[in-house]
């Protein structure tokens, strides 16, 4: 279905090549589209909030996977898997390009794409090369003639630089959904005028840990005890924890596949029979049967957001089990996410060590930067250094726009 939608929306110059490369998938997709139409299902792709709404109406029709960009550097991708990722990325880029051109009233052929320092930490530069190749191929396919990349923390730093009046060493910490990236940058009015900033980028560090990991960990340690995690079997042994970790791993296709397998369903049914508190494990089976992983992790995410303004949050999960609610608080969030916080501290220290200098200021951006727990943690790490919290969601985009204007000039970039 993705292949067929993409074929229809490609520039005419690309359609012939795409048809030759994806002939079998296009034919198979045509058959599937006819079956969907006969069954009364929509045959168009949806994006953004509409796509999420459609998924929530029929969660048993597929998996919810968050931060797909972080998968582009995954190890062991087969050629057909890489093609699928490229098609998904191209469809998303095509949609963004179409919306942009409609808003501007003209065509757009140049783009700057934000990228994490490392898409995935397991294979380093090989993973980065694979991811950049997928992104570049997808962008060219949908009609971008000029494609450039910029590190996301560097882009965020460019936006902060616009307000500086003197040369400053800035440690930019960009905590995204799927990755955290740190860059030590030399910034200031003189530096901002330079067309090549390579000499000002003093160091980079990055790893695949971000806001999604905070949500997943909070769901596991804050919510899953009410589903039987840490409870006991009649034999006196603890209930195996593997299914709980798989249940909330909405950033891991393999784990989600294992959790929703028939074999795991049989395992959970057996554990219910063996459990001291079978009513708790029955809730996990409900999640498994109805594909409610996203529901649980989203409850943790919304609680994390709510805990920005309050110290406690009551989570209503009565749609999973009548009368079920879980109380979450800031201290529990800090305790649950101890490992993620320490990973971010290690990335910051790595960037400082590489640069061989201390920052004059720490600039933090990304949605998770709003959390008082994170702010308190950062203050502990940098007790004598000013910490500036930037636009939580707009710093990177604004910085990429500044860089596009610099390298392309005001014109066709998107």
* pLDDT tens string 66-87: 667 767 887 777 888 888 889 9
Pair 62, 55: CB distance under 8 Å: yes
Over residues 18-39, the pLDDT tens digits come to 888 888 888 888 888 787 777 7
Distance CA 341, CA 373 (A): 9
Tokens representing 218? Answer: 């909070």
pLDDT averaged over the chain?
Answer: 89
Q: Which pLDDT score, from 0 to 100, does residue 412 have? A: 53
Classify residue 232 by its DSSP letter.
Answer: B
Mean pLDDT, rounded, for 362-388: 90
386-399 burial string, b = 16+ CB within 10 Å, else e?
A: ebebbbeeebbebb
pLDDT of residue 73: 82
CA distances from 331 to 218, 301, 364, 371 (A): 11, 15, 22, 12
- CA distances 43 to 28, 37, 46, 265, 323, Å, are 14, 7, 9, 31, 38
pLDDT grade, residue 61 (50/70/90)?
Answer: low
The residue with tokens 């990991």 is 213
| Cβ pair 73, 119 in contact under 8 A | yes
Residue 154, pLDDT score: 87
121 pLDDT higher than 80: no
pLDDT of residue 289: 95
Distance CA 53, CA 308 (A): 25
Give the model's pLDDT for residue 151: 87
What's the mean pLDDT in 136-156? 92
In this structure, how many other beta carbons lie within 10 angstroms of the beta carbon of residue 202?
19
For residue 14, give both structure tokens. Answer: 């690309």
pLDDT value for 37: 75
Please determine, for residue 122, whether its predicted confidence score (pLDDT) is greater than 60: no
According to the model, what pLDDT value does residue 323 have? Answer: 95
The pLDDT value recorded for residue 34 is 81
So what's the pLDDT on residue 414? 59
Least confident range from 34-43, 372-381, 385-394: namely 34-43
Comparing 36-40, 106-110, 141-145, the range with the smallest average pLDDT is: 36-40
Name the residue with tokens 């009046």.
165
pLDDT at 413: 57
Helices (H) and strands (E) in the chain, counts: 18, 9
SS3 84: helix
pLDDT at 123: 55
Q: Find the mean pLDDT for residues 157-182.
A: 90
pLDDT of residue 107: 93
Residue 7, SS3 per DSSP: helix
**Residues 6+ away with beta carbon under 8 Å from 308:** 370, 371, 372
Q: Distance from first CA to last CA of the chain, Å, rounded?
A: 27
- Residues of the chain above pLDDT 70, percent: 95
pLDDT tens by residue, 214-233: 999 999 999 999 999 999 99
Quote the distance between the C-alpha of residue 380 and its chain's center: 27
Alpha-carbon gap, residue 166 to 272, rounded angstroms: 64
**Residue from 142, 158, 50, 21 nearest 89 by CA:** 142
The DSSP output letter for 60 is G
Q: Would the pLDDT of 141 be above 90?
A: yes
Rounded average pLDDT over 134-148: 95
pLDDT per position as a tens digit, 304-352: 999 999 999 999 999 999 999 999 999 999 999 999 999 999 999 999 9
Q: How do residues 243-289 score in pLDDT, each as one tens digit?
A: 999 999 998 888 999 999 999 999 999 999 999 999 999 999 999 99
Name the DSSP letter for residue 277.
S
Per-residue confidence (pLDDT) for residue 334, from 0 to 100: 95
Using DSSP's 3-state secondary structure scheme, residue 241 falls into: coil
Question: Could you count the other beta carbons within 10 Å of the beta carbon of residue 18?
Answer: 18
For the stretch 99-114, what's the b/e string if a residue is b when 16 or more beta carbons lie within 10 angstroms of its beta carbon?
eeeeeeeeebbbbbbb
Average pLDDT over residues 143-164: 90
Question: Which comes out higher in pLDDT, residue 35 or 236?
Answer: 236
Q: Is the pLDDT of residue 128 over 70?
A: yes
Asked if residues 300 and 332 have their Cβ atoms less than 8 Å apart, the reply is no
**Residue 291 in tokens:** 């594909």
């Amino acid at each position: 279905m993705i292949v067929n939608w993409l074929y229809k929306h490609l520039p005419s110059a690309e359609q012939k090549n795409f048809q030759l490369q994806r002939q079998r998938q296009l034919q198979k997709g045509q058959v599937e589209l006819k079956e969907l139409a006969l069954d009364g299902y929509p045959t168009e792709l949806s994006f953004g909030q509409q796509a999420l709404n459609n998924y929530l109406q029929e969660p048993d029709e597929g998996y919810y996977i968050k931060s797909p960009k972080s998968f582009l550097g995954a190890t062991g991708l087969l050629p057909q898997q890489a093609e699928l990722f490229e098609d998904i990325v191209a469809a998303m880029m095509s949609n963004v390009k179409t919306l942009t051109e409609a808003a501007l009233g003209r065509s757009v052929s140049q783009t700057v794409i934000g990228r994490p320092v490392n898409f995935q930490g397991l294979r380093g530069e090989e993973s980065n090369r694979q991811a950049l190749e997928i992104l570049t191929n997808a962008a060219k396919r949908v009609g971008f003639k000029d494609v450039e990349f910029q590190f996301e923390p560097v882009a965020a730093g460019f936006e902060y630089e616009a307000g500086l009046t003197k040369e400053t060493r800035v440690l930019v910490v960009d905590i995204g959904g799927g990755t955290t990236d740190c860059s030590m940058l030399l910034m200031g009015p003189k530096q901002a005028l330079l067309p090549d900033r390579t000499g000002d980028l003093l160091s980079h560090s990055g790893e695949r840990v971000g806001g999604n990991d905070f949500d997943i960990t909070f769901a596991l340690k804050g919510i899953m005890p009410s589903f039987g995690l840490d409870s006991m079997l009649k034999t006196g042994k603890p209930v195996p924890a593997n299914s709980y970790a798989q249940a909330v791993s909405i950033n891991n296709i393999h784990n989600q596949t294992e959790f929703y397998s028939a074999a795991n369903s049989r395992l959970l049914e057996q554990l219910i029979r063996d459990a001291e508190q079978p009513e708790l494990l029955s809730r996990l089976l409900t999640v498994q049967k109805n594909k409610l992983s996203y529901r649980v992790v989203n409850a943790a995410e919304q609680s994390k957001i709510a805990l920005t303004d309050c110290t406690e949050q009551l989570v209503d999960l009565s749609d999973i089990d009548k009368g079920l609610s879980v109380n979450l608080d800031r201290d529990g969030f800090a305790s649950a996410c101890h490992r993620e916080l320490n990973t971010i501290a290690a990335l910051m220290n790595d960037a400082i060590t590489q640069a061989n200098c201390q920052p004059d200021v720490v600039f933090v951006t990304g949605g998770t930067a709003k959390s008082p727990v994170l702010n308190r943690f950062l203050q502990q790490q940098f007790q004598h250094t000013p910490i500036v919290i930037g636009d939580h969601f707009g710093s990177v985009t604004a910085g990429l726009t500044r860089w596009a204007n610099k390298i392309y000039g005001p014109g066709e970039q998107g």
